[in-house]
């Protein structure tokens, strides 16, 4: 399982395991590449859809995700408004994702307020470090870090704040807290 696929499975599983879905997705593709995705909220009775979010995707020349722009629906103005953008930067160790807010005065995504670094470790594990921009020091401040462990072909484990979680790829909606002993047992150590 490659790095980006593993991270996508982890993030999607965390979302599915923690929230009941009241959303409907419409994905537009160009060949096998997702170019846009619309997210609609469903009404309480499930009969109606309301605009919620709109994602636009940009890829580099190697067909890796380069940018994910997020727009939110303004019900009062009846129009999409730019919210934020995720910029993906690739290097030898892995990749990082910069989170930039829309600046309406400058009409760009110039205010980068957070970033996440994903570095491939020997053996296939991934080190994840989360940062936020500290205005006072004008530097990145680390918020959290954790390691995602590929225990076998069917299991991904992640530890956040020293609380490990497991994901069974055969049941991707399942995300539950576990113990470090369980992770060691799955990893065969």
Q: What integer pLDDT is reported at residue 73 of this predicted model?
A: 97
So what's the pLDDT on residue 154?
52
pLDDT band, very low/low/confident/very high, at 91 (cuts 50, 70, 90):
very high
* Residue 131 or residue 3, greater confidence: 131
Which of 36-40, 91-95, 101-105, 162-166 is predicted least confidently? 162-166
Note the pTM of the prediction, 2 decimals: 0.70
Predicted confidence at residue 20, as pLDDT, reads 57
Q: pLDDT digits over 16-44, tens only?
A: 433 457 889 999 998 888 999 999 999 88
Q: Output the average pLDDT for the chain.
A: 77
Query: Of 28, 81, 76, 33, which Cα lies nearest the Cα of 53?
Result: 81
- Asked if 102 contacts 85 with a C-beta cutoff of 8 angstroms, the reply is yes
pLDDT of residue 127: 86
Dihedral sign for Cα 61, 133, 11, 147, please.
positive
Q: What pLDDT, on a 0 to 100 scale, did the predictor assign at position 66? A: 95
User: Do 39 and 23 touch, CB atoms closer than 8 A?
Assistant: yes
C-alpha–C-alpha distance, residues 34 and 66, integer Å: 12
pLDDT band at 99 (very low <50, low <70, confident <90, very high): very high
Higher pLDDT, 149 or 75: 75
């Amino acid at each position: 399982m490659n790095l980006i696929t593993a991270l996508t499975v982890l993030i999607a599983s965390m979302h599915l395991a923690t929230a009941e879905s009241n959303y409907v997705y419409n994905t537009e593709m160009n060949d096998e590449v997702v170019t846009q995705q619309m997210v609609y909220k469903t009404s309480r009775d499930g009969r109606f859809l309301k605009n919620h979010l709109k994602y636009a995707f940009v890829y580099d020349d190697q067909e890796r995700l380069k940018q994910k722009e997020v727009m939110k629906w303004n019900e009062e103005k009846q129009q999409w408004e730019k919210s934020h953008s995720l910029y993906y930067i690739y290097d030898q160790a892995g990749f990082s994702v910069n989170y930039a807010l829309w600046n309406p005065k400058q009409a760009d995504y110039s205010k980068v307020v957070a970033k996440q670094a994903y570095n491939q470790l020997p053996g296939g594990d991934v080190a994840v470090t989360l940062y936020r921009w500290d205005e006072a020091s004008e530097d990145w401040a680390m918020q959290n870090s954790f390691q995602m462990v590929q225990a076998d072909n069917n299991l991904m484990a992640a530890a956040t704040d020293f609380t490990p979680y497991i994901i069974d790829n055969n049941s991707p909606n399942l995300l539950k807290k576990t113990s470090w002993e369980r992770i060691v047992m799955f990893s065969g150590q």
